[in-house]
Each structure stands twice: as C-alpha cells, then as structure tokens.
Structure 1
C-alpha cells in the first residue's frame, strides 16, 4: 500500500478524463478535500478548466499553492485522455511542479485495498462495444495483471 507518512503540506490537483466522467479533485496530504465532476461523456474540453478554477476558488487555494498535478493515463477514451494530459502538463509546466500519471483501474483498486477487504481486487471499466478494461491488484495495491481489454462473453467471464 502506498503510504503518505512522508508527505506533509502536499496540495494536489487530480484530473480524471479517461471515460465519460470529467473530474477534478483537490487533495491535501493523504485525503481528498473536494471534487467537482460531471458524468455525461462529453464536453471535457469545455468543462475541465472551469472545474479547476471553481474547485480552487471555493477552497480558497491559489493555483501557485499546488504542489503536484496528477492525471489519469487510462485506460479509456483517447480524446478524453489527451484533454486531461494536455491540461495537466500545461499546468505543471507553468507552475514548475511535478506531474504524476496514474492508472484509472489502479486508483479504483487502491480504494478497496485501503479497506483490506479482499486478497485480490479485479478493477474493471467499460470500454467500447462489448469490451471491458480489466486490471488485477493485490490487497497491498501491487499490480498483478496490467490493464488489458477483454471482450465480454460467457466464455471469457468463466476464465
């Protein structure tokens, strides 16, 4: 499991645009303090910068206080990923702060790993058509099966 013990006074801006959800979250140290999201599958390019501004304003955070930018690298929509990556890279470059990329499936798995409920976590995400993205992780958050796409069928589910 990832530990935040050595991180104090870290203010992170977290961007997720890999799927239908357009989301920005504000993290302080090891907790999420606020989030703005819309789940309609479109308009990421129009909403993302507005969401960032609104999130920082309502939490009284000056953009120059950010310590790190984190962005999802997928799997997911190529267009959505490019929108999130371009925004994150631009902000990190302009602010001269680190840019971190994270897997959407790994983030989902870490939410369950933190609860220590199961030995293994299968993290899935809808892809196009009859496909899903699947990644398998251990209870301590380590990747066992990297994210892959699979066609959903009775035969594949039984495997």
Structure 2
C-alpha cells in the first residue's frame, strides 16, 4: 500500500511540475513565433491546456504532445492506464475543484492572449494561477487585479526613465 501511495505521489508530482511549467513553455514558444490555437489538449492531466502551432506542428505546453492525450508525456508513461486508475482512486473533491478552476483559468488565459494580454512568469499568491498583464494592469484570471508592490513600481519607473 505504501509503495502504491509513493507511485501516486510521484505521478501527481510529475504532472504538477509539468503544469507549473506550462506558462513558461507557452511564453517561450510564443516568443519564438508559435501561435495559440483555439483547440485544447485532450490529455486528462493537461487540464485543457491550449495548443500551440508552428507551421504544421501542434504542441501542448503541458505534456509536450500533439494534443491527443496519447503522446508526449503520456507516451513516456510505461503503464499509463494503471497509473491513471491509481490517480483516479486517490482523487478527492478538492482535487476536482482545483482541476475545474485550472480548466476555467486555462480557457480564460487563452481568450485573453488572443486579445493582447501577456502571460507573466509570476503566479497569483491567492490561487497559484499564472498572472497576465495588459497596458500596465496585472491580473489573475481567477482573483482579478493584483496590486503591484511599491518597490516593483519604482523599479519599473527607473527602467522607463533610463530608456528615455
């Protein structure tokens, strides 16, 4: 039983890490010319991550696959079905609520990026969802506007005055 719990924890930690790195992956790839599509990854662990496209190549920023939920990190899992069953057994209602909130946030992030918002490298202190910025306004798609610390404002002002 303890071995099974360790496997579940390792599996969850692996996917939590991949999800936490998704905003960085998306930012890097978009700066390299990738475009966000209006499609989402079908992988159960990807939380409806928006897919990116470069030429004819489609890429999920969470699993690294093509959005089918069958390749990328899913293809590297030796016994995916067994692992998924163990994870499903370990899921509790709070996990489902977290997943639902992430799904909502992912969709909203995608919508905002299509109208000019920028995905930041920081996460909201309240809910751990990546923050977004547009026209100097920083927001969490779940919690709303985020107050920028006075020190950060001073740093931005200093950089802007140097640029002038």
Fold shared, TM-score > 0.5 on shorter chain = no
Relative contact order (C-alpha < 8 Å, sep 6+): which is higher? Answer: 1
Larger radius of gyration: 2
Higher share of residues assigned helix = 2
Normalised to the residue count of structure 2, the TM-score between the two structures is 0.28
Normalised to the residue count of structure 1, the TM-score between the two structures is 0.29
